[in-house]
Amino acid sequence: MQCGKSNGREECREVWLVDGQAMTSYLEKEFDWLGLRLCGRIRRSRKPIRATEWEEQKTHTWLSSLSVERVTAKQIAQALRDHWTVENGIFRVRDVSYDEDRLHGRKIARSLSSFRDVAINIIRHEGYPFVPDGWRDIASHPGLGLDLLRHIRLIL
């Protein structure tokens, strides 16, 4: 079990590992999925730091091609946790900061998304921890924004 505190809440994650060899032939035959070796479940529990009871519990099942002998429950828990780095670092920024789900522009969505990616990369390259902070700072120094655009090949 891994527990941690941040953002005003405590979260604990419990991981169970099961050798997936018993399911291998079924998954290969039914779904054409080769190489299943490991199955597992993770239960995440959350509560506000000062609360006495868990407010939220979610359980998810996952499958992997890693072998049981090569990985530990602690490594799997960390890998599952690291997965959310992508979600929180890219997709959540695009969704929350850029309101991309609401402002998607039917015919130009890919182009708009590419411009947003460039803006996020520039802001992150400049060391801003939060995208809105980068917007405000760059917007208050127009020369800085233009200079960053001139050197875009160095950033991407």
Residues 49-94: pLDDT tens digits?
888 888 888 888 887 777 777 788 788 888 877 777 777 777 778 7
Which of these three, 84, 100, 124, is where a domain ends? Answer: 84
Q: Quick check: is 94 in a domain?
A: no
On whether both 79 and 113 belong to a single domain, the answer is no
Residue 89: inside a domain: no
Q: Would you state the pLDDT for residue 105?
A: 67
Structural domains in the chain (count):
2
Q: What is the pLDDT of residue 153?
A: 59
Residue 155 has pLDDT above 60, yes or no: no
Q: Are strands 38-48 and 2-6 parallel, antiparallel or unpaired?
A: unpaired
Span 98-148, pLDDT tens digits: 777 776 666 677 777 788 888 888 888 888 888 888 888 888 887 787 778
Q: CB count, 10 Å around CB of 86?
A: 10
Residue 58 lies in a domain: yes
Mean pLDDT of the chain: 79
Say what the pLDDT of residue 104 is: 61
Check whether residue 70 and residue 17 sit in a common domain: yes
Does 79 share its domain with 126? Answer: no
Are 80 and 114 found together in one domain?
Answer: no
**Domain annotation covers residue 63:** yes
128 lies in which domain range? 109-155
Same domain, 78 and 17: yes
Total-model pTM: 0.52
H, E, C per residue of the chain = CEEEEECCEEEEEEEEEEECHHHHHHHHHHHCCCCCCEEEEEEEEEEECCCCCCCEEEEEEEEECCCHHHCCHHHHHHHHHHHHHHHHHHHHHHHHHCCCCCCCCCCCHHHHHHHHHHHHHHHHHCCCCCHHHHHHHHHHCHHHHHHHHHCHHHHC
Higher pLDDT, 12 or 90: 12
**Same domain for 71 and 14:** yes
Q: Is residue 102 part of a domain?
A: no
